Each structure stands twice: as C-alpha cells, then as structure tokens.
Chains A and B, each alone.
Chain A
Amino acid sequence: MPSNRGLRLHPASPLFDVFSSVRSLVFVGVAALFAAGSDRTEVIIALVVAGGAALKGIQYFLTWYRIDATELVVSRGVIVRNERHIPFSRIQNLDLVRSPIHRMLGVSEVRIQTASGAEPEAVLRVLSEKAIAELQAGIGRVESSPTGAEAAPLVKLSIDDLVVLGLVSNRAMVVIGAAMGVLWQFGLTDRIEASLEGFAPALRGAGIGATAIGVAMFVVVLLVMLPALSVAMTIARFHGFTLVRNGEEFRLRCGLMTEYASTVVRERVQALSIRQSPLHRLLRRASIRIETAGGAKEGEQLISRRSFVPILPSDRAGEILEEVFPGVSLDDVEWRPLARGATRRMIKKALIVWLLVSIGAAAWLKLWGVGLAFVFLPVVIWHTIRTARFMSYARSGRAIMFRSGVWMRATTITLQERVQVVSVAENPFDRRHRHASLAIDTAGAGPIGHAINIPYLEAERAGSLRRSILSHMTEELSRSPSQR
C-alpha cells in the first residue's frame, strides 16, 4: 500500500482551506468595516478573499504527501516549496476534526503532532475516510480494527454525565464574561440599563423598585441561564465521548456538531493529573488531564489533554491511572507531609497578606472594613491549615506524586523515567528554617497547569530526593533505551 509517488489531498480541500482563511479574515474584515465603512474597503476585502481562494486552489495542486516505510513526507508551498519528513516514531498524536460540512463530504481534517512546538507538525486539510485509514495503517497505529469496532471503552459519557459535567464546569461563565466585555466595549450596557429604567416606572406602580428588578435578573442569570448554557455547550462539545485503549494507544472521540477524534500514544504521556472541585467532591466525581510532549497550546487539540477524561466517578480515577501508567496504583500510597514548621510559615505568609488586604479594606470601608477583616481572619487561618495538611508528595514504585489545593484539589502523577530536569531551590526564608523546594520538570506544554513543585521540604530531604530521583531515572533509562 505505501506508494512511492505522492498522494493528493481530497479534492474538496481548497474549499476548507478557504473556509479557514475566511474565518481568520472575518475579524480583519469586520474591524475594517467599522473603521472606514466606505465602499472601497469592501472591494479590497473581497479582493483579498478572492486572491486567497485562488492561491489555495493552486496550493492544492502543489501539495502531496507520501507514506514511506518509516516516515510521513508532506510537501507543500506555492513559491517556497517545503518538504517535511516526519518519522512515525516521533508522532505523538493524530487528531481528526470533522465539522458537519466535513461529514457531509465524508472527509476530515488531520492534525499530526510531534514533540516540537505548539503548532501541529503537519495539518492535512482534508483527507477522505479511506485515505485516513491508509495513513493510520501506514503509521502502524491501527492494527486490524477499522474505525468503529474497538475494545470496550474505558470511559463513555451519557447525557446525564454531560449534564453533571456542564453544571460542574460552568463553562458558560467564561463566555458570558467575554460577552459582557464586548457589550461594555460597544457601550451597550448603558442602553440595557436605560431600557431597564424605562421599565421601572411601570413596575414601580406595582411596588417593585429598580434594584429589585436588577437582583431578580441577576438571580435568574446566575441560577438558570448560566447553568443551562453551560450544559448546552458541554453537550455540544463532548456529546458521545468515549475513551478507548487500543493496545498501546488511547483513542478519544467526542462532539455533537464538530466531531473530534484523537489518538494519544501511551508511552508519550508525561504526566497525569486528577482534579476535583468542591462540586466534584460533593458529587463524588473527578476529571483527569494528561500532559504529552509538545503541541496543543490552544484550540481543539487541547481536548485530548485537558479533557482526557472530562468527568468520571472519583473512585475510578485509580483505574484510569493504571491504564496510563501500568503498575502505578493510587491504593496504599504513603503520602509524605511537608517539613515541620511548614504550616507555621504558611500561616505567617497568609497573615501578612491578610494584614495588607485589611489595611486596604479599613482605608476604604472604615469601620466596616475592619469588621470584615476580623470576620475573615479565622477563615484565612483555617484555609491555610487545610492547604498545608493536604499538600504532600509520595513515591511509590516508579511513580512520583504530588497533591495540593483545598477547594480545587489536584493530584499529579509522573514516572521517574519521564523526568527531564530536577531542581532544588532555597530562598532566604527557606534557609532560616532549613527548608527547600523541589521542582520536577517533565516535557509538555503545560495543559495540566499543576507542576510538581513541592515547597517547604526539609533541605536535606529535598537534596536526597533530588539525588535519588536522578539516579533512579538514569537507571530506568539505561534499562529501556526509548527516551520517553
């Protein structure tokens, strides 16, 4: 099947190329229209779009790819030709994105990720189902099972799960925030306020004040509209979510309108993080993120890392961990606390922050501020003590674990052989208490957002941990030569 001559993309490719460039041009166009609004700008925009479309058409005929024995070769470029060789062994992820239009034409956009950089190494826009199957077979990712017939999924989310996920994640908050920003930018909030005031006299007759309307609206938005919107957005994104392990790779697919499919090679997972918000804990749920080297700073690519498992019962987290890092278990983990005196230092730090905020509050709200500050004092101390108690680390077999947080809890696990750099740091305050912090760096773009950075350790312990992790790591690496 691997042929020596290059393969063309799907004939519909220029269409999608134009779509994607038009999408990025829309912003420029809208901005230009707002700025000038003359006929000439419209003509210029049309010309730019048409020119871009023509260029994409030419580009289609000059783009080809080839599946060799050990590498994928992608050649493109109108003026400057670029031939890119991607060894199969370096491919980290293969992501497919399929919007309703893609589905109508039976094609997908293919994104190939390697460990380098934030951008996908190659984007094949677009390939037919058959070409994708050939590509996957060539890369050696799919043994015999064609798409569809797979092993039993590790995680499968029902609509109920998605509703819970929508409520827990409160995805809409971000969108509403952005929308409010835009509204405010264009001065629309004033208009809304004005129209509200227009309503007011009518209602005042019924004995309802403007403030009451405001409060009522706020409550409705907060308790009804935001959650509803969150659930809708979550269902759109994660509908039909399944996570399957197929030999050495995980396959993840989801999406209502735009379908998204991703493969993550097990060996490439650098770290795994189990997260729980208070709501998660209340509902006994957790979410799992993973870190792979390179790629995925934004956009859909993030789904496979940020939402490796968007939501699952918290007692199943250990199961997923064992699937990702075989032989690593969350049971019988001996969590080691921070150094003696860590809690006292953290309280001291929290009190200094509290004092500064209190002074501000007192200056602004006078006696009320002072009162508020003292009401919050026990909360601050309680929160700090809880933080210090929960923050701990563990080593169990090849695994290094770190957990932290009071409200938002995160437990991050990596393997000794995945460690890149180990560092021990001491600041002047650390030195006074003979403390130090230990940072364990792994590869990855950081979608986990919970680095293994253990503060307030006894200095000697931090040093011996550093040496021990390094020697175990080099030992492990010399035993199995594969680098990550």
Chain B
Amino acid sequence: MKVDELEISCVTLRRPLLAYLFALCGDYHQAEDLVQETMLIASQKREHYFPEADFGAWLRAIARNVWKRELAKRGKRPGNVELADDLVDYLFSSDHYEEERWEEEKAALARCMSRLPEKDRGIIRGHFNEGKSYAEIAASGGRTLSWVKVRMFRARKALFDCVQRSLRTMKRERGSV
C-alpha cells in the first residue's frame, strides 16, 4: 500500500477505530492514544497489508493487539475476543462515522446537552467523564441504582430525540434557502 493511500485510509477510518478502542477500554483519552499507536504500527507495517483485504478490519486487528499488549504490560489476560467479531465489523464500519454527518450531529448534540437538566448532565458526566459505574453514581448521589438506570436512559433518549429534531430543522432550513 502506498503511503498516501494509507494516509487517506487512516483519516477515513480514524473515528470508527476510535469508537472501537473506546468500546474496548471505556476511556476516551486512552482510546485516542491507542489509535495513535495503531496508526503508527499500520504505517510501519503497510507492506504487510494486501489490498484485497478489508483495511478497516486490518486496522482493528492491529488495534486489538495494541490493546492486548497494553493489558499484558499491566499483567492482565485478554478475554475471549472471537465471540463478538461478527458484530464488530458491522458496528465499527466507516459508513457509520462519516465526517460531515458526524460534525453536524456533534454540534447538535452539544446544543442539546447544554439544554439538559443539570441533574441529567451530572449523571452523564459522572459516567463518561469521571468513569463512574451506575452504582457509584447512585451511591454518590444518594439514589437507587434503578433511578440512575431510568434517568440515564431518559436523558440519552431525550438527547437522541433532540438531535434528530435539530437535524430535521437544519435540513428544512437548508431546503428553504
């Protein structure tokens, strides 16, 4: 694979790869570091890639090994990685992470997040930003686990609906211009 082709592919597949590694490690910052390492290895090993193969799958294979190695450094054993592979290709396909659509949705999500009640933003921040489990959020807020589950679901559903509304409005406005 030529260097420029590799660069283009890596740019297109960066976000799906980030999504994959974020799903694996659950930590955004760490996932970003693992993506960088994966890209570096892919660049060094580009001669080993056969154009007939799915480049995304090849990158994910490297990413999985990078993550395994990261765990090995800490003396942890990787679990069974085969079971969910059939889902992985579908979940982290680049079709779902197209740049323009992503940025549009992200801008809408940012606006929707700022409109969420502080209580809901608090549990979302607790889970995503502070790495708390639902049980830890419940304990720190003096709530039950069920309350957190329901509240989290409603907040995330509200965000999704709000984003969809916002995107529809934008589309309509664009159409009317």
The answer to whether A binds B is no
Binding site for A on B (CB under 8 A): none
